[in-house]
Structure 1
Amino acid sequence: MKKMINPRLKRALQRLFLAMLALFVFTLISACGSPDSNTTQGNENGKLSVTTTIGMITDIVRQVGGDHVEVTGLMKSGVDPHLYKASQGDINKLDRADIVFYNGLHLEGKMTEILEKMAKKRTIVAVSDGIDRSKLRNGDQTGTEYDPHIWFDVSHWMSATKSVRDTLIKHDPAHEAQYRSNAENYLRQLEELHQETADKISSIPEEGRVLVTAHDAFGYFGDAYNIKVMGLQGISTASEPGTKDVTDLRDYLVANQIKAVFIESSVSRKAIDAVIEGARKKGHQIHNGGELYSDAMGAEGTVEGTYIGMVRHNVDTIVSALQ
């Protein structure tokens, strides 16, 4: 004979089951839910936690954020962002950040897809988005729609600075006044740098105003400051230059009696050395004009480890070699 359950006991068990189910669902949502993109989490010090890709952006955030931001840069001195692969540690740093800033325009190569997926859950900002697309240079045969090396035109980097400023204010309105003041001061320095760069490059005799580097990173620099730019590789360093690339560049340098070429801190100098040697065999002496910072800044704690210091180093090196 089937045993009947007391109705009162049955109801009590049902209520207990529903309460336990509700607790389980709440716990699951809390564990899996992502932070709202407009909510500041902050770290244990109460500062905005920001993760950046390239050093130039890290420097902007430090300049504008000041004491209210703790910034972690993923790519250090000498690192080529075109070839960079994110580690699990990098993913964790991105995932813990209140805000992530990156360059965009496919500069970060293999990381771009990761960043775009994360953008669905948190605030991830491409600083290049604030620049009018009509002011961007076209890409190359690698499939890059635009040239991503926007920091070589200081006026574009001013736009990037404004993008960082506005994002920090949106997430931390309590410190808006400080962010605006810091940004205003930094933008004033960048305006001076922009004019200083133009004046120095114009001091090079026009016929010798040719900048030859390992890859085509300085196009914006050439457009902004009136200097012809030639890169042995294309916009990206993902593929090696071929023999024809080396030969064509060598022949141009010999024919036009260009006296200096430049290596880059984040790109192998092997191909540029081949150009120099090829010109020597044809009776034309080309010297190494010096090392330029292209896709990465100098070491942390050095003058060249800041954006302004990097630009000044590059300009002074170019002018010294070509005058």
Structure 2
Amino acid sequence: MYTFSNRLNWMKIILAVSLALFITGCTAEKPVSTMNQKVVITSISPLADLIRNVGGDSIQVISLVPTGSDPHTYEPTPDAVRQVSMGKLFFANGVGQEAYLEKLIANSQNKDLRTVILSDGLEILGNEGHKDNHDEEAEHHEDEAHIEGNGHDHSQGNPHLWLDVKNAQHYVESIRDALIEAYPQDQELFKANAENYLQELEALDQWIAKEIQTIPPENRNLIVYHDAWRYYTERYGLTVLRPVVRGDESEPSAKDYAQLIELIKEYKIKAIFGEVGFNTKLILQLAQETGIKMVDDLYNDTLGVTPETDSYIEIMKHNTKAIVSALE
């Protein structure tokens, strides 16, 4: 006869079995953490592409700033904190590019995360490191472009080192070495990938230099929207007279604006250059008032989404073609 006591005993048995299965299930999920050990984090999509070319399919690369977004205004989300908590390596550009990094890592409570600063060991161009042949007043305003911005801090110097392909090669070597240290079992893969990619970057560097040389010397002066192009122009023989906006992205005063127009006339500037993710209103206005060309689709802090712009090599080719076409 089935009694209440029998029912109670069966319930105890079912509960015990369920508890055992739960404990076994928790134990079975432990390998997930092993999978997550190959998660590496970085800030912006151009750096993520460099990492992927070294790590290949053996690692998962997470870029915190969405493709096409402005890293100057990026604020880490709760999801970013979760992603960082899973990572083993954080590849940071440094030089103030990731002003949020210290707080983000603290919030992630990931004590095992190692931070690799990719710009370490390279020359940082800053206020005193880049003087052009324009007048003293314009130099003063150019230097003002390095005051602290919203998303990264130009007071430490200019952070856009990767726009010089030689610097990007240094980044790749640092990425290779860090991945080998973190995952020695895959070191041969990382070495082979890095070697192949370094050769591709060497060919890119030579191609850019050759293309820029087709621009007549008198046309190699640029006005740019914001101060991102120092390393590119230093490497490849161009001159940025000054950026339109300062480091905090504030619009130029009436006096600054008048000086920009004078510079354009004095140096017979052929084009003004803006970037993806930034407002084109000011450069469009300047182009219309002075009769020069406007290029508004250069890439520096982000990749694009088309086959012509979805990798580091492709954005560097795109930028160079756009500059040469506008200045020839």
User: Which of 81-90 and 182-191 deviates more?
Assistant: 81-90
Task: Give the counterpart letter for 1:268 in structure 2.
Answer: N
Q: Distance in 2 between matches of 1:310 and 1:241?
A: 28
Q: CA deviation at 1:238?
A: 4.5
- The within-5 A match list for 1:189-268 is 189-229=200-240, 230-234=242-246, 236-268=247-279
Query: Which runs of no fewer than 5 residues in structure 2 stay unpaired?
Result: 1-31, 128-145, 149-153
| Contact preservation (8 Å) 2:81, 2:104 | no
Q: Distance in 1 between matches of 2:163 and 2:96?
A: 16
Q: Distance in 2 between matches of 1:199 and 1:288?
A: 23
Matching residue within 79, 84, 94 for 1:89: 79
Query: Which runs of no fewer than 5 residues in structure 1 stay unpaired?
Result: 1-39, 280-284
Q: Which residue of 2 aligns with 1:126?
A: 117
Q: Distance in 1 between matches of 2:255 and 2:98?
A: 28
- The within-5 A match list for 1:118-157 is 121-129=112-120, 131-132=121-122, 135-139=123-127, 140-142=146-148, 144-157=155-168
Per-residue CA deviation, residues 154-176 of structure 1 (Å, 9 max, x unaligned), is 00111111111111100100010
Give me the TM-score of the superposition, normalised by structure 1: 0.78
Q: 1:222 to 1:66 in 2, by over 3 A?
A: same
| Contact preservation (8 Å) 1:246, 1:274 | no
Q: CA deviation at 1:231?
A: 1.6
Q: Which residue of 1 aligns with 2:23?
A: none
Pairwise CA RMSD:
2.1
Q: Distance in 2 between matches of 1:273 and 1:104?
A: 32
Q: 1:113 to 1:98 in 2, by over 3 A?
A: closer
Q: Which residue of 1 aligns with 2:60?
A: 70
User: Percent identity between the aligned chains?
Assistant: 32
Q: Distance in 1 between matches of 2:244 and 2:98?
A: 20
- The within-5 A match list for 1:1-323 is 42-43=34-35, 48-109=38-99, 111-115=100-104, 117=106, 121-129=112-120, 131-132=121-122, 135-139=123-127, 140-142=146-148, 144-229=155-240, 230-234=242-246, 236-279=247-290, 285-299=291-305, 302-323=307-328
Give me the TM-score of the superposition, normalised by structure 2: 0.77
User: Which of 64-73 and 75-84 deviates more?
Assistant: 75-84
Q: 1:196 to 1:105 in 2, by over 3 A?
A: same
Q: 1:173 to 1:297 in 2, by over 3 A?
A: same
Count of matched residue positions in the alignment of Structure 1 and Structure 2: 271
Q: Distance in 1 between matches of 2:34 and 2:160?
A: 31
Q: 1:42 to 1:183 in 2, by over 3 A?
A: farther
